[in-house]
């Protein structure tokens, strides 16, 4: 997969003080299951949790355009959440952040990267498929579909990283 031709702002590593802006973007992208500022603050304080963001500009108050949060434990890692603001999609921001994570984990000797995604999330599955993630299982009825009326299976994906 190519990294695209769009000029995207450089990703920055997540810091404790980003929790409020992370929650604001997460709320826009996952209105039915938004994580709070306190949730992000707690996650960022956990050992092994790290990630990247992009923002509209370099101002400390700038709205975020994308975020990725992951957790590493022993020689495995997991993507906890990834989202891009609706008006900044298809500009290779997610590709950029996942690329940052894979490069960092590979350099650090992590062997496997895991995540879960709704089976009907066509955009995310195409993104991860492009990086070589493979399906290793399903969790039945794992997500709501937003209306609470239906539930959707989670697809468990794994990427083996080169040491
Ligand atoms: C999934 C998501 C993160 C993709 O972010 P993005 O920045 O728009 O993705 P990119 O521009 O980096 O696209 C990378 C690849 O993903 C795939 N892709 C992205 N959006 C797609 C879409 N709407 N339809 C089909 N494929 C898509 C393509 O393969 C694309 O590569 P290409 O541009 O070379 O064709 C974004 O749509 C999003 O935030 N969705 C809501 C939250 C979510 O579902 N998060 C993932 C949970 S695991």
Q: What is residue 155's predicted lDDT score, i.e. its pLDDT?
A: 98
- Residue 129: strand, helix, or coil: helix
- Residue 48: strand, helix, or coil: coil
Structure confidence at residue 161 as a pLDDT band (50, 70, 90): very high
Q: What is residue 5's predicted lDDT score, i.e. its pLDDT?
A: 46
What is the arithmetic mean of pLDDT over 1-14?
A: 68
Other C-beta atoms within 10 Å of 108: how many? 12
Residue 154 beta carbon below 6 angstroms from any ligand 1 atom? no
* Non-local CB neighbours of 87 within 8 Å, separated by 6+ positions: none
pTM: 0.94
Residue 130 beta carbon below 6 angstroms from any ligand 1 atom? yes
Q: At residue 79, does pLDDT exceed 70? A: yes
**Cβ atoms of residues 68 and 82 within 8 Å:** yes
Residue 70 beta carbon below 6 angstroms from any ligand 1 atom? no
What is the arithmetic mean of pLDDT over 122-129?
A: 98
- Residue 40: strand, helix, or coil: helix
Q: Residues 94-124: pLDDT tens digits?
A: 999 999 999 999 999 999 999 999 999 999 9
Q: What is residue 8's predicted lDDT score, i.e. its pLDDT?
A: 56
Q: Residue 95 Cα, ligand 1 centroid: separation in angstroms? A: 8
Instruction: Give domain limits for the chain.
Output: 12-160
Q: Residues 12-51: pLDDT tens digits?
A: 999 999 999 999 999 999 998 899 999 999 999 999 999 9
Least confident of 22-31, 47-56, 137-146: 137-146
What is the arithmetic mean of pLDDT over 51-56?
A: 97
Q: Residue 126 Cα, ligand 1 centroid: separation in angstroms? A: 7
Q: What is the average pLDDT score of the chain?
A: 93
Q: Which CATH superfamily is domain 12-160 in?
A: Gcn5-related N-acetyltransferase (GNAT) (3.40.630.30)
Q: Residues 148-158: pLDDT tens digits?
A: 678 999 999 99
């Amino acid at each position: 997969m190519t990294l695209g031709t769009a000029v995207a702002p450089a990703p920055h590593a997540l810091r404790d003080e980003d929790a409020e802006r992370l929650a604001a973007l997460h709320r826009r992208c996952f209105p039915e299951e938004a994580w709070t500022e306190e949730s992000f603050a707690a996650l960022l304080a956990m050992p092994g949790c790290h990630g990247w963001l992009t923002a509209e500009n370099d101002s400390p108050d700038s709205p975020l355009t994308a975020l990725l949060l992951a957790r590493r434990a022993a020689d495995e890692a997991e993507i906890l959440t990834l989202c891009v603001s609706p008006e900044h999609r298809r500009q290779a921001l997610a590709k950029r952040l996942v690329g940052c994570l894979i490069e960092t984990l590979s350099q650090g000797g992590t062997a496997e990267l895991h995540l879960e995604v709704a089976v009907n999330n066509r955009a995310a599955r195409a993104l991860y498929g492009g990086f070589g993630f493979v399906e290793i299982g399903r969790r039945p009825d794992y997500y709501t579909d937003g209306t609470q009326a239906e539930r959707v299976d989670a697809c468990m994906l794994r990427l083996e990283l080169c040491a």
